[in-house]
Amino acid sequence: MKATYKPALAGLVSIVLGVAIAGNAIGQQKAENDSADIAKVKAASQAFYTAFSGSDAAAMDKVWAQESYIVYVGPRSKTIAVGIDAARKEWSPIFADFPIRNISVTTSSIRTDGTLAWEVGAEKAQVTSKTGELLSFETFVTNIYEQKNGAWRMISHHAQMIPR
């Protein structure tokens, strides 16, 4: 009986090793894809902060998915803006009321599943109002991106003031 089990056991070991090696190769490929996606999401995040800081409405349109389901909640928001048109209505007064803005992510963690990506962290903002008043504050932030046609576009931005 032992002779019967040895070939079967050897075959089972070969199958298990083959699955493990294949799984490792697939896992390695996924990690490489995740790294590439994360780099693209970081670039999309940087494009958002550059566009927002520069009051660049055209660049904001390139950063955001042009969808009815996108969501924007800024630190001054009194409502949740749902849809690209509603989000634009939120940005316009910010651009007018604070013509000088420097907003950047100070810490963040990005994760992705290949279709969606989420960035969680903190922002630092220095803004100058149209009356010349300088304001500095920090927010917790969650940004969500969706990949369509090879491009990562923002579908949600939520920034909340960090209490002092």
Q: Are the beta carbons of 93 and 78 closer than 8 angstroms?
A: no
Q: Are the beta carbons of 54 and 41 closer than 8 angstroms?
A: no
Q: What confidence score (pLDDT) does residue 95 get?
A: 85
Q: What confidence score (pLDDT) does residue 92 get?
A: 86
Mean pLDDT by 10 residues, the chain (164 residues): 50 48 47 80 96 93 96 93 95 88 92 96 94 94 95 97 90
Fold of 2-161: Nuclear Transport Factor 2; Chain: A, (3.10.450)
Where does residue 146 rank: exposed (0-12), middle (13-18), buried (19+ CB within 10 A)? middle
The two beta strands, 71-73 and 151-161, are: parallel
The CA distance from 129 to 64, in Å, is 25
Q: Are the beta carbons of 70 and 154 closer than 8 angstroms?
A: yes
Q: Helices (DSSP H) in the chain: which residue ranges?
A: 2-53, 57-63, 84-97
Of 145, 144, 146, 141, give the one whose Cα is nearest residue 158: 141
Report helix, strand or coil for 68.
Answer: coil
Q: What confidence score (pLDDT) does residue 47 get?
A: 97
pTM for the model stands at 0.78
Q: What confidence score (pLDDT) does residue 5 get?
A: 46
Domain boundaries of the chain, sorted by first residue: 2-161
Distance of CA 112 to the CA centre of its chain: 8
